Structure 1
Amino acid sequence: MTQQQILDPQDPSLHDGKHDLVGHLGTGSLIFLIIAASAPLTVVAGGAPTSFAVTEMAGVPLGYLVLGIVILFFSVGYAAMSSRVTNAGAIYAYTAAGLGKRQGLAVAWLALVSYNAMQIGLYGIFGFVLAITLDAMAGITVSWWLCALTGWLLTAILGAMNIDASAKVIGVLVLLEFFIVGAVDFFALSTPADGYPMGGFDVPEFVSSPGVGAALAFGMAAFMGFESATIYTEETKNPRKTIPRATYGAVTIIALFYAFSVWAVQVGIGETLVIDKSIEMGPELVFWYLAETGHPVLADLGRVVFITSLFAALFAFHNAIARYILTLGREGVLPEFLGRTSPKTHAPIGGSLTQSALAFVCIIGFAAYGAVTGAPFEFPVIVMFGWLTNAGAFGIVFLLFITALSCVFFFRGDASINLFSRVISPVLAMIGLGFVFIEILIHFDVLVGAEGFSPLVIGMPTVILLTGVLGLIRGEWLRRNRPAVFDRIGTGHGVEFDNQHT
């Protein structure tokens, strides 16, 4: 086995004080952090109505189950790898171990750009929703970008805190989301519009529908961040057990909860009417339903929790980015100061501050662009959120495909891992993820709100993939010019580790 395959992140000899990630996350806390990225209320209130409106098909609930199965197949090989490759580099480290160091660095570059696109794009919708909520509920008029900067500041503060403390905050926010969605489910199923139709789970109808690809492309956003358990490897109590349990648990909860909740909304509004109402109401659908059924206070609470749902997702993606930067800084691929952790909180302070700085510049940049061009009111949602998050999702699905391939290569010839875990499951995941990747590409114009052909349809996916090419080139340059740094790619450790363990 290689050096990085047998390292134990809990081994005190691996810590030099400047680069330590320290935490005591258990399975439950880790599941909350994973689910926070998928934003349950955001999916049910925003993602599902969008999917109903675009696909005009009843089988949207089934789409979440199908995607859940694909991701569970992915998780089998992924979880097996988590017991062998243990550092906060996650997907990056797995690819370096399975496909090679240059390919690993290509994935690292691609991951940084994709996760940053997802995280920064969320500030657009966060600022917009907070601004219109303050106006509607309190009569306070505030610019979207000031609201976005409020979320940015809170994210920056939490990002500098110890993960155990911030996990508790995120846990409360996620529980609030489950409460609101659970209330919607209860009221919808208590007063069905037309009985309990099961068209949402009609497999033959789903498979034959022309909108099946679009439904899966839109639905994939509901699972973004499920792979993030491995970035907390060094901050968990028992990573070899906790990481697989948290990954399986989170994916299962997400798939079942979303499928059931979206079906419940379908039952409450009506299987046919829900499509028309989704087209008409958009993200207001769930809150409109609560108000229409005599629960206006709950509807207002839901709007507030919708904002905290977006904030929880912002923080979850911020964490992922900060830990990727930390790992690359440790290894010397990025400047060394980016690999430092706070001596007080042991948070990845270098990576966290860097991500916060980039997000700040982007928020101000989009605000300035909107002001100069006289952009419409919906600009932060249509452009900042729509363009960036869909570009990021495109990149992340590709990353998952490459990771599944890495699992196959990593375990080849390893008889200690059963055939299903090392070959069958990852290959099935690759087939499913490959189909979703192609569908996202085909429907990219719809995802970013473009009408007909647009340079965005070609340009944004190309930019995302080109970052991986640049990472590959950088890896080759390091191999030829800085072999010591090249050797550390994917290990999660830097020169201090080399000095202690040579």
Structure 2
Amino acid sequence: MSEITAAPDDLRDEPAGPVRQLRGNLGVAPIVFMVVAAAAPLGVIGGVVPLGLASGNGAGFPATFVVSTVILLLFAVGFTALTPYVGEAGAFFSYVRTALGFPAGIGIAFVALVSYVAIEAGVYGLLGPAGAVIVELFGGPALPWWLFAAAAFVVTTFLGYRNIQLSSRVLAVLLTAEIAIVVVLDLVIVAQGGDHGLSSGIVSPNAVLSGSLGIGLLFALISYVGFEATAIFRDEARTPERTIPRATYVALILIGVFYAATSWALVSGWGDDEAVARATDSGSTFLADTAQRYIGVVGTDIITVLYFTSLFACILSFHNVASRYVFALSQRDVLPEPLSHPHATHGSPHLASLWISGVVALSIVLAAVFNLEPAAQFYTWFAGTTTVGFVVLLIATSLAVLVYFARDRHGYSLWRVRIAPALGLVGLAIGLILIVANLGDLVGGSTVLGWAIVGLLVASFAVGAVVGTRTQDKVVEKS
């Protein structure tokens, strides 16, 4: 492949004005920590995996992580090919803007912003009760969930205001701890040979195709939300043309291998049929029950604490991503211009971060005031919004890749910019169909709520496209 030079093709729709840019020196590892933490690996293992086993394709569910990883790696092939031609931070909306125009890009930006703020706010609905469990575990009183949400919110707001390196260090520690304890559990299960031999469901066509493969694929796909945020840290990365692609591939492979291997180990820990039965009957304690069986009470207590810190790491990661979306939009003068001024000392998007904190705080307060059930309602509703938005963003970016390279491959192979992105797009389209078809069940059995979520995202895109058109028209008038 020929040498690729970063050179955005068309900057005529960019608003004039001083450069407002974040500062940082992130390498591959810190960015990987950031985006893998957003995926909340321990949260997925403790929450999504039991759902996939119970409602999806049973003992074959671990294989759906392999399928999802392949689909997303196909997406990443085109995504990273376009990276050198996107000369601005902004992740998905910058990629879409580069290929499909400014209005479409801003429309996608609004969808992304709604999706990321929704998941940041929603995860507080899991973190709060998890904090309460820890206090009771050590003999403390029963406390309302929103107290723990409020405490985590204060810490998140502080870290979001500071330099990105501080957040990356915190996330590195938390992520390393949560992955380490689960790897220990996996190794103990495998070393003991599982309950009665290691599961073959991950490679058995009969097991993979059993039950509801569609539901299994749905739960697998939503477990990767956040991996794509590598590109939002472009301005804070060293040599982003190399760092962003490498971080994207490393994050995807790390997440995929971790999910597939751990879910397989958990199934092996009980046996195929028993694992599905336990996930169905006591999914909320499935991970803890497995841990107690294989690594004892102390191991279970450690996992309980790290589950809480995993959720906090997820919140902090999405807060950083959402803040940078706001910062990037204000750089384009789509949102108020002051939000695009980095902190003089920290080089952080401090005002954008505070703006996101305000929206999230309002969500938590409303959930507490209206006495929403934190997990079954607050988290589920917001997570449903993010799930649909996530796949829509991936599809839009895949289309952007195909359109950008349609006439000129810029020295890339057909596989890199046409075949792989097209195959990824097909897989993502199937995933979106499955998600929308089952969205009512995903958000608590309400079809009306499911369609309301779809309507919210459609409206977000429409509003963003209108704002983008007006912003572009103002730029044209000034020029």
Q: TM-score, normalised by structure 1?
A: 0.90
Deviations along 1:163-204, one digit per CA (max 9) or x if unpaired, are 112211100111011111101101211221121231122235
User: Which residue is equivalent to 2:375?
Assistant: 381
User: Which residue is equivalent to 1:203?
Assistant: 205
Please give the alpha-carbon distance, in whole angstroms, between the structure 2 residues aligned to 1:16 and 1:476: 22
The offset of 1:289, in angstroms, is 1.6
Residue 398 (structure 1) aligned to one of 392, 398, 402: 392
Instruction: Give the fraction of aligned pairs with identical amino acids, expressed as a percent.
Output: 30
The offset of 1:300, in angstroms, is 0.5
The offset of 1:144, in angstroms, is 0.6
Please give the alpha-carbon distance, in whole angstroms, between the structure 1 residues aligned to 2:430 and 2:265: 28
- The answer as to whether partners of 1:226 and 1:251 remain within 8 angstroms in 2 is yes
Please give the alpha-carbon distance, in whole angstroms, between the structure 2 residues aligned to 1:118 and 1:343: 29
SS where residue 282 of structure 2 aligns? helix
The offset of 1:367, in angstroms, is 0.3
User: Which residue is equivalent to 2:438?
Assistant: 443
Q: TM-score, normalised by structure 2?
A: 0.94
User: Which residue is equivalent to 2:458?
Assistant: 465
- The answer as to whether partners of 1:63 and 1:216 remain within 8 angstroms in 2 is yes
The offset of 1:292, in angstroms, is 2.8
User: Which residue is equivalent to 1:27?
Assistant: 28
Please give the alpha-carbon distance, in whole angstroms, between the structure 1 residues aligned to 2:155 and 2:425: 37
Please give the alpha-carbon distance, in whole angstroms, between the structure 2 residues aligned to 1:224 and 1:138: 35
- The answer as to whether partners of 2:7 and 2:85 remain within 8 angstroms in 1 is no
User: Which residue is equivalent to 1:230?
Assistant: 231
Distance 1:61 1:24, change over 3 A: same
SS where residue 193 of structure 1 aligns? coil
- The answer as to whether partners of 2:384 and 2:453 remain within 8 angstroms in 1 is no
Please give the alpha-carbon distance, in whole angstroms, between the structure 1 residues aligned to 2:416 and 2:237: 23
User: Which residue is equivalent to 1:147?
Assistant: 148
User: Which residue is equivalent to 2:187?
Assistant: 186
Task: For 1:105, give the aligned amino acid.
Answer: I
The offset of 1:50, in angstroms, is 1.4
User: Which residue is equivalent to 2:254?
Assistant: 253
Pair 1:67 & 2:68 matched: yes
Please give the alpha-carbon distance, in whole angstroms, between the structure 1 residues aligned to 2:57 and 2:276: 6
User: Which residue is equivalent to 1:429?
Assistant: 424
Residue 413 (structure 1) aligned to one of 407, 411, 414: 407
User: Which residue is equivalent to 1:271?
Assistant: 272
SS where residue 89 of structure 1 aligns? coil
- The answer as to whether partners of 1:188 and 1:269 remain within 8 angstroms in 2 is no
User: Which residue is equivalent to 2:312?
Assistant: 311
The offset of 1:91, in angstroms, is 0.5
Distance 1:409 1:115, change over 3 A: same
SS where residue 223 of structure 1 aligns? coil
Pair 1:163 & 2:156 matched: no
Deviations along 1:51-103, one digit per CA (max 9) or x if unpaired, are 11212521111000000000000001101111110322110011011111111
Distance 1:278 1:84, change over 3 A: same
- The answer as to whether partners of 2:331 and 2:337 remain within 8 angstroms in 1 is yes
- The answer as to whether partners of 1:187 and 1:268 remain within 8 angstroms in 2 is no
Task: For 2:461, give the aligned amino acid.
Answer: G
Deviations along 1:387-439, one digit per CA (max 9) or x if unpaired, are 10121111111110010000011122223222111111111111000011111
Task: For 2:387, give the aligned amino acid.
Answer: A
User: Which residue is equivalent to 2:334?
Assistant: 333
Question: What do you get for the CA RMSD once the two structures are aligned?
Answer: 2.0
The offset of 1:15, in angstroms, is 11
- The answer as to whether partners of 2:199 and 2:264 remain within 8 angstroms in 1 is no
- The answer as to whether partners of 1:50 and 1:283 remain within 8 angstroms in 2 is no
Please give the alpha-carbon distance, in whole angstroms, between the structure 2 residues aligned to 1:33 and 1:481: 36
Distance 1:293 1:15, change over 3 A: farther
The offset of 1:231, in angstroms, is 0.6
Task: For 1:159, give the aligned amino acid.
Answer: G
Task: For 1:437, give the aligned amino acid.
Answer: L
Segments of 5+ residues of structure 1 without an aligned counterpart are 8-13, 488-502
Segments of 5+ residues of structure 2 without an aligned counterpart are none
Residue 454 (structure 1) aligned to one of 430, 435, 447: 447
1:96-175, aligned counterparts within 5 Å? 96-175=97-176
Pair 1:361 & 2:362 matched: yes
Task: For 2:406, give the aligned amino acid.
Answer: R
- The answer as to whether partners of 1:37 and 1:317 remain within 8 angstroms in 2 is yes
